Amino acid sequence: MKKQTLLLGILIFCAAMSMAQAKREWNTVFSNINQEVLTNSKAYSTLKTATETIGHRLTGSANGKKAEEYAFNLLTSYGYTNVHYQPFEVESWSRGKLSVSIGEENKQQPIKAVTLAHSPVKADVMLEVVDMGNGLEEDYAVSNDKVKGKIALVFLGVLPGSKPGTKTLHRSEKTAIATKYGAKGIIIINTPPGGILLTGTASVTGKLIPIPAVCIGREDGLQLKEQLTAGKLYSHITMTNFSGLIKARNVVASIKGKKLPDEKVVIGGHLDSWDLATGAIDNGIGSFAVLDIARTFKVLKLQPERTVEFVLFMGEEEGLLGSKAYVDLAVKEKHIDQLRYMLNYDMTNDPKGYSSTAEESKELFQSIGAIANNLDTSFKNTFRSGAGLHSDHQPFMLYGVPTGGGMGGGLPNNAGPCYHADCDNFKLVDERGLKNTVRFSAMLLYGIADAKEISAKHFTDTETRAFLLKNNLKEPLQIAGEWRWKD
């Protein structure tokens, strides 16, 4: 018994010494990351160049191709010899002409609007407009036929005065619900003031939808809602768009792990953007942070225990197409189980802590964050666990891969209202916030990839289902046709 107790004590002591040694090594590595990024970061300057020389980065467009090549060449210039494209076929969509007018049946006025992506190639409808509130199932359940054969007017978020606890859905999910109840068109009211128009996909599948979908400004939309209380309104929507199969490419580079090369930690962000502006915030600050993290790892010759893979995804805005292609290939080639973590950077700015879908990652993440906090107390080392949809982590999460990233920071320079809008340009970017994303996220990436053990497990199919149910994601996944369980 004494021998067993002694042996256990020795094992515990050795484990503690190993952890202490790892933390000492991390202190040095993280300090080097901190200094390198603060002194030599290229995230701000390369993003500035991209916005000035490429413009928007719409998937499938000539600009999208230029963005792919720009990222490829940057990674090559940073010393990566294994940079490669991961091609996938995508049903590309781009907007054409649009005209929207609203008023009495025989007397209408034009209204400022923008087409939502994946609307039909051609549409010409003149129909009554029906106010469907927040556009949720409960708004239609009152009268199943209320919107049938008409145009639904829907608020993008949650209307002021809605009952407490009202949750919202993605614009694509609200469009899918309107279509389900027989609407022949949908007008979505944007949430920020100032007449800002939002673009983005109205499709849950990344394929063409059967009805025209447009967005109008908040002030115009609320005025229409008021007018509808006094009488009927009609809208004439005509549009032409382009849709066709083209090829797009994710851009991938990696650093092979020292001891566990078959275990992989992926860090990615979507390179593509919508075409109304240059996408500096969505998602320049995320994708160019990932590129600079890759540069930092190469400059410092960092090689953690596990393989690290840097991925610039295309097609996120049109339905997570690039990340789905990545995961589909991993499933097909039977190495999906090798993915130990996926870190996603989508509009991440100036993080104050880390987030994860796995609560059990808290200890590891906060041990990493404690070192970051010692280097800079502006990093608060907070932690949040939970799950959501509609970014490139989603396909990974649906196959049981733990996902996470930076959290707790705000968008710079009041950039929120410019989401998917024509004001998303480089003047919104904050250099300090971008550097903070790079340095604190590089520390997180290295810590996960170098950890002796990752407590967050790769879920089985059954465990994935239970996790999604726990996080109330069944309904939106069913709407999107991505709930693969037969229940």
pLDDT in tens, 293-324: 999 999 999 999 999 999 999 999 988 999 99
Tokens representing 25 are 């090594």
* Range in 144-148, 174-178, 225-229, 357-361 with the lowest mean pLDDT: 144-148
The residue type of 410 is G
Decide: 90 and 315 in contact? Cβ < 8 Å.
yes
Question: What pLDDT score does 4 carry?
Answer: 61
* pLDDT of the residue at 143: 80
Q: Is the pLDDT of residue 270 over 70?
A: yes
Contact 123, 233 (CB under 8 A): no
Q: Is the CATH code 3.90.1720.10 the one for domain 36-91+245-479? A: no
Q: 386 and 359 in contact (C-beta within 8 Å)?
A: no
Rounded to an integer, the average pLDDT of 168-177 is 96
pLDDT tens per residue across span 424-481: 999 999 999 999 999 999 999 999 999 999 999 999 999 999 999 999 999 999 988 9
Q: Does the pLDDT at position 14 exceed 70?
A: no
pLDDT at 5 over 70: no
Distances (CA, A) of 224 to 28, 130, 189: 60, 10, 10
List Cβ neighbours of 45 (8 Å cut-off, separation of 6 or more).
none
- Say yes or no to pLDDT of 194 above 50: yes
Q: What is the pTM of this model?
A: 0.88
The structural domains of the chain, with segments of one domain joined by +, span 36-91+245-479, 96-241
Instruction: Evaluate the omega torsion of the peptide bond into residue 283 and state whether it is cis, within 30 degrees of 0.
Output: yes
User: What local confidence, expressed as pLDDT, does residue 11 receive?
Assistant: 45
Question: What is the tens place of the pLDDT at every residue in 105-156?
Answer: 989 999 999 999 999 999 999 999 999 999 999 999 988 799 999 999 999 9
CB count within 10 Å of CB 22 equals 16
pLDDT at 17: 47
Mean pLDDT value across the chain: 94
pLDDT at 3: 56
**Radius of gyration of the chain, Cα coordinates, nearest whole angstrom:** 24
Handedness of CA 148, 221, 228, 115 (dihedral sign): negative
Mean pLDDT score, 24-45: 97
> What integer pLDDT is reported at residue 420 of this predicted model?
94
Give residue-wise pLDDT tens across range 395-427: 999 999 999 999 999 999 999 999 999 899 999
Banded pLDDT at 487 (limits 50, 70, 90) = confident
Q: What percent of the chain has pLDDT over 90?
A: 89
The crossing angle, in degrees rounded to 10, of helices 431-450 and 43-53 is 120
Query: What's the gap between Cα 218 and its chain centre?
Result: 24
CATH architecture of 96-241: 3-Layer(bba) Sandwich (3.50)
What is the token pair recorded at 43?
């995230």
